Structure 1
Amino acid sequence: MSENAGTSPPPVTEGLDTHTAGRPVTVADVLALPVLATGQPQVVTGEAHLDRLVRWVHITELTDPASFLKGGELVLTTGMPLPDDAAGVRRYVDELTDIGAAALIIELVRRYHRPPESLVQACRTRGLPLITLARDVNFLEVTQVVHALILGNQADAMRRTQRIHEAFTALTLRGAGPEDVVRSAAEMSGRTVVLENLVHQALICEPSGTTVQDALTDWERRSRVTPLGDHSEALGPEAWLVVPVAYQGERWGRVVMLSTPPGVGFGPEDVTVLERTAMALTIARLTHPTTWERTAHRSALRDLAEQRHHSPEDARARFAALGLPAEDSRFLAVLVAGRTEEGAKSEGWLSQELRIAGVTALVGELASARLGALLVLRPSQPWRPTVERLARSFLDQFPDAVVSVGSEVTDIADTARSFREAAHAAEAAVPGEHLPEGRSFHELSDIGLRQLLYALREDTRVQEYVERQLGRLIDHDSRHGTNLLTTLRHYLDAAGSKTTAARRGNLSRETIYQRLRTVERLLDCDLESGERRTELHVALTALDVLRTR
């Protein structure tokens, strides 16, 4: 047997295990190769260490092979050079273990037919995997196959690393924001990635192989027991891979890669991904003026308002990870609709007003010309004075704005309902209508028939209904210069009283009777029918809101 595997013929690719492609080769991977499986390998000791990485394969028939090793080698031997005495065997195993050999494979064909007990004991004591081969194996062919696999994987790793650098360079060149950067990191690594600030608030979380709930539950406590670290390294009880994120030369926060599933170590590519993530985030911080805390609040607010979370537990975990109280609180959606000023300025102003009022809240622009806030209220904290103050302040600056609220909810996962109700109230707010005394904001209780029809004014079915009910009457007024529509309105407003209708229209009883008969003829209806009067009243109300400007 040759002592130096470097004299072997060029590596071959036959018999390679495609399952190992793209990752370091372990002892277990080598044992699964067909070229070694023919020898009927049996693990005698060190079964718990078969995940050791194999850097190279070394064939040896020397009594001191360790002097030719550098660590990580899979040592192949026929057993011929093994010392006869137990002390010599222990020294042989100690030298292999001290140099960091991955495993020892001994062929039980020539000298031994069962492994010596002294060898078994020495390997078990030192935790060195000992594998026996019951049948003859071509060691040279083993080295060719394993070396081809190792070199191929190294080349693949270099190509993947290059692709990682190219991907993050592309993200930076197109001005990607922090959400895109963190999402790309999670996709590339297949692991959960979290961006947090210095006070351990999780601003962005991209789960992979887990849920937001699993990733963020009890986040602040778990993060605080994980040291900050000055460079990329696995730290803390959960062995998170962490890399600091700087801004203008000072530490701003850190990006964290979670072990998924727990306990699975990180490879060089994970480190590359996270380091490039931190670099891309630093550049994004310089090119995106909006603070990431505000961006995180806006994103969380939109997810809650549009119910984009995967589960109620995910919503609660993300909310709490932002440093907001998700338990023992009440939640209220507030919307400001209408053109006010630049979204970022409006968000900042509203956030400041809420801080002055002592109210915790998520604030963000939900859509163009629509600003939203989710108020987080203590159990005994009244919300009406706060909302009234906000509404009056907004209306003083922007009289055309519409401030609306939903109903209170006790579960953060139910806030989408409160936002829907606030949106319905805003959509039904008829311009120019006065609210009850002492109130400057709209709520669901304000929605009556007129408000409901105003909210539905763009629905063609409402428009068609108005035309079908009143079109002939309106056309008659236009052609003949009459005012029958007004007469009908007075009659319906008077609940069918002709006397009251005549008085309101300054008409005689004979005139009102004549006009109403004309209306009945044109509309082919009986105005004595309560149902028909209701239909016409709805149509008139809809016509009014359709003409509202």
Structure 2
Amino acid sequence: MRALTARPDLEIRIRAGHGGLDRTVRWAHVTELHDPVRWLRGGELVLTVGLNVGATEAEQRAYVARLDTAGCAGLGFALDTWLTEIPPAMVDEAEQRNMPLLSVEGNTPFIAIVEAVAEHYATEQLRLQGKMLTAQDAMVRSALRTGLPGVVTELTKAVAGEALLLDQNGLTTHSVPGGEHPWHSTVRSAVVLDGDRPRGMSILADGDATILLQSLRAGGSTLGWLALRCSSPASAPTRMLTNHAASLLTMHLLRSRDARRLHHRARAPLLRLLVTDRTAGASAARLLTLPPPPFEVVHLATDRPDTLVDQVVDALADVMGSGPALDRAALCALDDGVLVVLPESRTRPRLGELLFTDLAARPEGPRAAGACQARGSAYLADAANRARRIAASGPGYRHAADTEAWSLLRDSLPAEASEEFQQTVLGALREHDARNGTELVATLRSYLEHNCGIEATARALGVHRNTLRARLRTAERVMGRSLDVPRHRLELWAALALDAGSAPGP
């Protein structure tokens, strides 16, 4: 009302109700009905020449009261057509109700006021559209420049609100303003992490504020959630900007996910070569960048390893977050599962257990996971076989260090003592392998793993029985120990176990 009455070209004079000039005019409506309320929706500036406003003071007051009760923005009179002045009772009633009462002066026709209201909303609509386009452009530029945080920040600037971005597990990825806020718990309680998940946009109440919760989905899977908190009911432009931000965030998350999958697919053949081909494994190890040793080697048992690989990549991002550690992790599909090489962690639960827990809750997740430690890339093949055997021992996640008494003895040894013992038993063998390109250490490990059986060991190594016997005789000569002596076999077993981080043997 204030903006409308301030226009000099309309020649409008305020006769009463100055306190109500902040009322919003939704439309201007001309009527001469005695009771037009049933045809009104609220927010109208009613325009009349006064034909049916009532003949008595009581009727005139009742006319003003009906319009005010109906939520009208104000009442305007055109004088000298039917009335020469506005009835004093109506002026007094309007003043008491803070309802603007206007007189249209001069030669201003009612249609000019109707057009002025329409023009105001058309101009406001153009302004809002311009503001939306500016905000959308800012979000796109921020998406290219700074990624997820930039999009969320620009959204909050455009709507003067607060925002929270959650990953697919309901964990905070980014918030504006930063830190944890009480309304975040309202959002998390609305995000169902298992079972049916929210689709599209939902509206949550937070006292007098409104929260828009938008799921970020692509290809039938939820990548995360965007929540926007506004201090007032969310307008249509606010909802449209939230949808735009959600689209940008979804594309960014989808692109990041696809890039991670492509990265790990490219590395998978090298890891597969490293653990299945001892001849080419050394070359593969030089090409494959892994986390700093020692590693946690995990075998995820499944009948559909090729299907599980992409899920493992996605779950790794949830468990490890983004960064160099995620890029250095390696995985590949094997015949009976997916092999994953992770950085070893002293904290509990281990990364492998967190990974298995995440995957086991998904459709077609792994039925079991076996894990063990490998001290370096040279021991990955043995560790992979050991992890596979552990996974076959039963459902759930099992780590060799948690299931073997050997780990208690190993962990009680000081590092210096362990290294000295290994060097005493294996030093000559290592030097021989390095100097002559032989694989005496690996041969002895396989020999012990297969219960000192010649047939089984030769088959596992892919060599003839006589070749294996020759290697064993060479190993005995180099290390100065006989494999027929139980104490010598025990020392060798312990040294190999300390060297690889897990005990050889079935």
Name the TM-score class by shorter chain.
0.3 to 0.5
Output the TM-score relative to the length of structure 2: 0.43
